Chain A
Amino acid sequence: DADVTQTPRNRITKTGKRIMLECSQTKGHDRMYWYRQDPGLGLRLIYYSFDVKDINKGEISDGYSVSRQAQAKFSLSLESAIPNQTALYFCATSEGRLAGSYNEQFFGPGTRLTVL
């Protein structure tokens, strides 16, 4: 079984709809991240969480919100989806609760989101 799972894997929705993408991990890692990947722009960080009570904005957080329901679960929400949020979304995890620790990040399989 995969260590980092994402649901759904594919989603097509309409402008203005609320969408939630979910991420679960069995690696026991404290840190979790959400990225989006766009052709020509690479991967960019949306939000990250160092533990259940710690949520931080990344480079492109506008239009998104997150919830860290448990150590193993981190969900990303689009409150009112718009077409330029069409992208491939990745969840990632890493060890290291302490500030200053920099550890390998492990990625989920991705969710392909299309907003019409």
Chain B
Amino acid sequence: KQEVTQIPAALSVPEGENLVLNCSFTDSAIYNLQWFRQDPGKGLTSLLLIQSSQREQTSGRLNASLDKSSGRSTLYIAASQPGDSATYLCAVHNAGNMLTFGGGTRLMVKP
């Protein structure tokens, strides 16, 4: 059974810092990996989808990498802003396009 772990569970940084969020998964036979953002009491917003054949994907200040063989993905946020404060979730696409989610990293960016 696929298990997805995100470290750290919570992170607090001053505005302007570059930061890295980590995601690891136990079964490397994944199809895609997707990063989401969730604001308190809100739904999930898709940030990036990395296809299994890709190594990384970029969108604005966000860069996500994928290393299937080691079962890891990282989400890099450049020049963090208070508006980036949210919970970040990674999810792997398994057979049948079912997602297995990590527990999330709660990010606080202080002005």
Contacts and interface: CB of A to CB of B under 8 A. Distances in A.
B101 A106 contact: no
27 contacts: A4-B43, A31-B97, A41-B103, A42-B4, A42-B89, A42-B102, A43-B89, A43-B91, A43-B101, A45-B98, A45-B99, A48-B98, A56-B96, A59-B98, A90-B44, A96-B97, A99-B96, A102-B93, A104-B46, A105-B46, A105-B97, A107-B36, A107-B43, A107-B45, A107-B46, A108-B43, A109-B43
Interface residues of B, number: 23
Interface of A: 4, 31, 33, 35, 40-45, 48, 56, 58-59, 90, 92, 94, 96, 99, 101-110, 112
Contacts of B61: none
Contacts, number: 62
Contacts of B43: 4, 90, 107-110
B99 A104 contact: no
A109 to B, nearest CB: 4
B49 interface: yes
A43 to B, nearest CB: 4
B104 A42 contact: yes
Given A43-B99, A103-B49, 18 more contacts: A31-B97, A35-B99, A40-B103, A42-B4, A42-B101, A42-B103, A42-B104, A43-B91, A43-B101, A48-B96, A59-B98, A102-B31, A104-B49, A105-B99, A107-B46, A109-B42, A109-B43, A110-B42
